Amino acid sequence: MEHLLINHWLLAVLFGGVAFLYSSVGLAGGSSYIALLTIFGVDYLLIPTVSLSMNIMVSTLGVWNFFKGKHARPRLILPFLASSIPFAWLGGTVHLPARLFHILLFIFLGIVALRIYCFSSFRAMAEPGKTAGLLLSLMIGTGLGFISGTLGLGGGIYLIPLIVISGLGDQKEAAACGAFFIWVNSVAGLAARLGSHPVPPFSVLAPLLACVAIGGYAGSFMGANRLSPATMQRLLGLIVIVALMFLLPKCL
């Protein structure tokens, strides 16, 4: 905890940069916040709480910009939320050993990296029918909600490519859905953790939140109004690789 107090201004600047890049693709940055917190030597019990707090700030701004850009489809978003919220709460009550926490996070991010770099782009399969699409959305929401609450990830880093790959929506519709999904599940996961996990002081959280707010607003504005889907995918791939590099020493 003392290590975080000493370095929290540097961490705030890094968090702002992460928020800008992630928010441009409809994400909040949870994976890289977690990676940076591990590099700074923060107690792993605090990491999901800090990460989810940042997710809430950035995804709030992302929801505003992507909804304002008219990329949101309620019919796409609602099934994911219905199944994910209770499982995000459940995941937030789970206590994992430190090494298992880092190994699981590395595995889940590795899956995303493989999907991005083994194929030139996210290619949609045939669009599913209404019933199949609803069942698929409910299943994805259940799994990602639990991951969100347990590891401190918002879940959008998996949801966005899954929406595109499965033919449920295009890249910007997926980004809008991801931003809202991250916000809701981060709130549920954080609420569950507050009753049973340690919380860092507000003097540490305040500069972190301020920097991610600035970066998150700028990035989500660019993603919703300026950046092409191809550019958004390349940014996402780069961020995932960097996060994996940060996490690898913690898994060994």
Crossing angle of helices 74-92 and 130-151, in 10° steps, is 30
Model pLDDT for residues 22-70, shown as the tens digit of each residue: 787 777 878 778 778 877 878 878 888 888 899 999 888 878 877 776 6
* Residue 219, CA atoms < 13 Å, CB-side half-sphere: 33
pTM of the complete model: 0.73
DSSP state of 118: S
pLDDT above 90 (res 18): no
Q: How far apart are CA 91 and CA 95, in angstroms?
A: 9
Convert 7-30 to b/e letters by CB count within 10 Å (16 or more is b): bbeebbebbbebbbbbbbbbbbbb
Structure tokens at 64: 């505003």
Residue given tokens 């092409």 in the structure block: 228
Which helix H or strand E contains 171, and what residues bound it?
helix 171-194
Extents of the domains making up the chain: 2-251
Q: What percent of the chain has pLDDT over 90?
A: 6
Model pLDDT for residues 177-231, shown as the tens digit of each residue: 888 888 888 888 888 888 777 788 788 888 999 999 999 888 877 765 555 555 6
| pLDDT for the residue 128 | 59
pLDDT above 90 (res 98): no
SS3 content of the chain, % helix, strand, coil (to 5): 80, 0, 20
What is the chain's length? 252
* Sign (positive or negative) of CA dihedral 241, 161, 179, 99: negative
Cβ atoms of 34 and 152 within 8 Å: the answer is: yes
Convert 141-162 to b/e letters by CB count within 10 Å (16 or more is b): bbbbbbbbbbbbbbbbbbbbbb
